Amino acid sequence: MIRTVRRAMALCAALGLALTVPGVASAHPADRPGGPAKQPVATGWGGAVASVDADATAIGLDVLRRGGNAVDAAIATAAALGVTEPYSSGLGGGGYFVYYDARSRTVKTIDGRETAPAKMQQNAFLDPATGLPIPFDQGVNSGLSVGVPGTPQTWNTALRRWGTIGLRDALRPAAALADRGFVVDRTFRDQTAANQSRFDDIAPTAKLFLPGGQPPTVGSVFRNPDLARTYDRLGREGVDWLYRGGLGREVVRTAQQPPMAPGADRVFRPGLIETGDLARYGVIERKPTRVDYRGLDVYSIAPSSSGGSTVGEALDILETTDRRRMDDVTAAHYYLEASRLAFADRNRYVGDPAFVDVPLQGLLSDGFAKERACLIDPNRAAVSPVPPGDPTAPYDRRCAASGTPEASEPTEGLSTTHLVTADRWGNTVSYTLTIEQTGGSAITVPGRGFLLNNELTDFDFAPLTPGVFDPNLPAPGKRPRSSISPTIVLKDGRPFLALGSPGGATIVTTVLQVLDGRLDRGLTLPQAVAAPRLSQRNGAATEVEPGVPAALRAGLQDRGHVLKDNPEIGAVAALEFLRGGRIQAVAEPTRRGGGAAGVVRPGG
């Protein structure tokens, strides 16, 4: 939320961040001893990739160099992240894929979200003895939270529709990486250590991720030959091996009867997933959300994710103001209030559109944005939770909210991973994939080398407000609401920006703030990604990263904002298309250990 480039540079200096010169490597040797150098910013021609991991980015770039397109590179990169980021992504999860097709100049999307089993009813996460929601930890660490994975079908569908290579070729580099191993960095070790007490309750998880009973040491080589063999066989047999074959039966057996380790101190509830649920699963090619923001077309994913609708509504609200003329405190205040209002509407109206009539057109209408914007007091923060508006009512220039505010903020896991790719023809991908919690359900499929998701904990266990309709309760075959927000911004019909982030519900605010910094606050894309973040999601407090300047904190508190520290919000991967055909790839300089950006031919 810093207005000028000079302020952004001073801020980054204060945080110990380097505003990297494009095309110059910036390694993190303390974080990745012996591993590939991580370069947070790269500029050049011929295509680009950005992700959180250097090995995965290198694999995506190699696909581009060999003549593959952005979709080929995205799937190869995603498969590699399943090796090096197994606690955030992999075959056992799902995600949302947004693609710009240069030939038709259109944006396509795939909803690869996990689905609930046919046996899952609205009361699935309630204790039958008390009728109250079970403890969240018991939902996470259980087979009950395992939804039907969507990632393998997403990969296969994207390659068949828009790629130039087959699934086997896309998986081959990741299989080789899993077999030879990667160098353990501080982030991987710390994530393992944070999950040690639950990983050691599941025998195959402990065997794979806790060698000798302990997290792998920094600088050691972590190999996953089981996953290498799984990728190889999936490439040869196709995704029906999961959805209608032997691998699917193994997944079902593992979720229904979690393979507990001797002496486990948790009870993992049995899952409800059956082979028929796998056979019925299908990804959905949905029409993307679209809003016009200051002459740019901002595309993202439609429900079942709330990402596109919530980011889009907040942008529409912000467009009613001239934020480029605001001081930093006022600009931050309006950003937070727009997000607060958009989240109130998200919580009330957005769910799986197969089960809920989502008023998407109203949520993204200019009239509704004006109605919501007029509620913002320029000098005082609203007290959360604020009530939702009525996007179905005609705009009548009144300044009023409607309905009852939600009693609590929904809970979502913070772990996910994001990647962006672009090729020499201008095709562009923004793809976020996840297994939900860091480490998912903690359940590894024996002999297969991947964790199962706990995505069904994204459902509300009980209505957020008693007596008020909740669009995100469990139901058979339903997709839980997500905040994933893979975004592509077009300028004059061609790609300008592509970005996304992990972070649970903070994904929405992270994407919104980066867009705000780049489009309204005079920051370059690397500066917008590096800038300290704030997140308001219609909760009692606004979360702030440690690097938010003291003057900005004080100014917000003077306007009534309650601030709560959050050590890290999001982990962006992004692209910007520059003049002269160049592309700038941008990853995090420090968050989550720093990300990795690369281009096919560096220069400029």
User: In this predicted model, what pLDDT tens digit does every residue of 249-283 receive, in sequence order?
Assistant: 999 999 999 999 999 999 899 999 999 999 999 99
Give the model's pLDDT for residue 408: 59
The band of 548, judged by pLDDT with boundaries at 50, 70 and 90, is very high
Of these residues, 43, 57, 187, 416, which one is catalytic? 416
Give the model's pLDDT for residue 474: 98
Q: Are 163 and 75 in contact (CB under 8 A)?
A: yes
| Distant-in-sequence, close-in-space partners of 152: CB < 8 Å, separation ≥ 6 | 91, 234, 239, 242, 243
Q: Is 416 a catalytic residue?
A: yes
The band of 415, judged by pLDDT with boundaries at 50, 70 and 90, is confident
Give the model's pLDDT for residue 158: 98
Give the model's pLDDT for residue 325: 86
Mean pLDDT value of segment 329-341: 98
Mean pLDDT value of segment 470-491: 97
Mean pLDDT value of segment 329-333: 97
Has residue 407 got a pLDDT over 90?
Answer: no
Give the model's pLDDT for residue 23: 28
Tell me whether strands 542-544 and 563-565 are parallel, antiparallel or unpaired. Answer: parallel
Asked which of 28-37, 38-47, 96-105 is least confident by mean pLDDT, the reply is 28-37
CATH of domain 5-285+416-602: 3.60.20.40
Considering the chain, what is the average pLDDT of its residues? Answer: 92
Q: CA-CA distance, 289 to 308, in Å (whole number)?
A: 6
Q: Alpha-carbon Rg of the chain, whole angstroms? A: 22
Q: Are 541 and 23 in contact (CB under 8 A)?
A: no
Q: CA-CA distance, 64 to 420, in Å (whole number)?
A: 13
Has residue 396 got a pLDDT over 90?
Answer: no
The band of 18, judged by pLDDT with boundaries at 50, 70 and 90, is very low
Give the model's pLDDT for residue 16: 31
Mean pLDDT value of segment 439-453: 98
Give the model's pLDDT for residue 34: 55
Give the model's pLDDT for residue 131: 93
